[in-house]
Amino acid sequence: MIRVLLVDDQPLIRSGFRALLDLEDDIEVVAEAADGSAGIALAKQYLPDIALIDIQMPVIDGIEATRRIAAEPDLAGVHVVILTNYGLDEYVFHALRAGAAGFLVKDILPEDFLHSVRVAARGDALLAPSITRRLINRYVSQPLDTGKRLKELTTREREAVTLVAQGLSNDDIADHMTISPLTAKTHINRAMTKLHARDRAQLVVLAYESGLITPRNSG
C-alpha cells in the first residue's frame, strides 16, 4: 500500500487529488494539510511514502517544507513530489535542490498522475531527461566545484551517475555497463552517499551542477 500525504492550501485541489487516489486499491491518503508547517508535522506523524506538496503556501512554503523533510533522518523514506501550476520555473528547480523527488503540474491527466505517484513510491525520479536539461540550462549558470566528493567516486560510479542523469533505469544502466541490475543499484546508492544526494532526482541535479554531465553531452 502506497501511503500519501497531501499538502496544499486549496481545499478543492486536495479533494480532487484525494478523490482520484481513494479509488485505487494500492494507494491510501493518510493525511492532509493546508500549509507547510502542518505538512511537516504530519509527515513526522504518519511517515508517508509520498508527500505531494504545493510550492506556494502560507506559514511555510513548499520549498522550505521540502528542505526540512529532506533534512530529517527519520523522514528518509518520504519522497516529496512538488505540485505546481507553472511547469518549469525557478521554484521547481529550487525544490529539486532542496530534496524533492520530482514535480507534477496540477493539470496533469488523472492516469498520468496515478502513474507518477507509483513511480515516485518506487524511489524513481519524476524527471524526464529533456526536462532536466531545460532546467539546468535555465537555472545553473556554471558548474559547482564539488571537488573532493566527486573525486571520491569510482570510475564505475561516475559512469552510473552519468547514465542516471540521462534518464536510464537500473535495468538499462545494467545493460549498458554489462553488470547486474543489483550491482547497478549498488553503484548508484554509493554515489548518492558520497555526493550527499537524497534520491535519484537530487543525484541528477548534482551531476549537472558539478559538471560531471552537461546538457550538450547528455543526448
Contact present, 215 and 153 (Cβ < 8 Å): no
Give the pLDDT of residue 217.
43
Contact present, 135 and 91 (Cβ < 8 Å): no
Give the pLDDT of residue 127.
67
Give the pLDDT of residue 48.
97
Give the pLDDT of residue 212.
75
Amino acid at 2: I
Exposure string for 63-85, b = 16+ CB within 10 A, e = fewer: bbbbbbbbeeeebeebbbbbbbe
Give the pLDDT of residue 120.
86
Alpha carbon distance 9, 65 (integer Å) = 13
Give the pLDDT of residue 219.
41
pTM beyond cutoff 0.85:
no
Q: Which three cell numbers stand for residue 47?
A: 511517515
Give the pLDDT of residue 57.
92
Q: 99 burial class (0-12, 13-18, 19+ CB within 10 angstroms)?
A: buried
Mean pLDDT by 10 residues, the chain (219 residues): 96 94 96 97 97 93 94 92 76 82 85 89 70 64 58 90 83 92 92 84 78 57
Give the pLDDT of residue 54.
93
Give the pLDDT of residue 218.
41
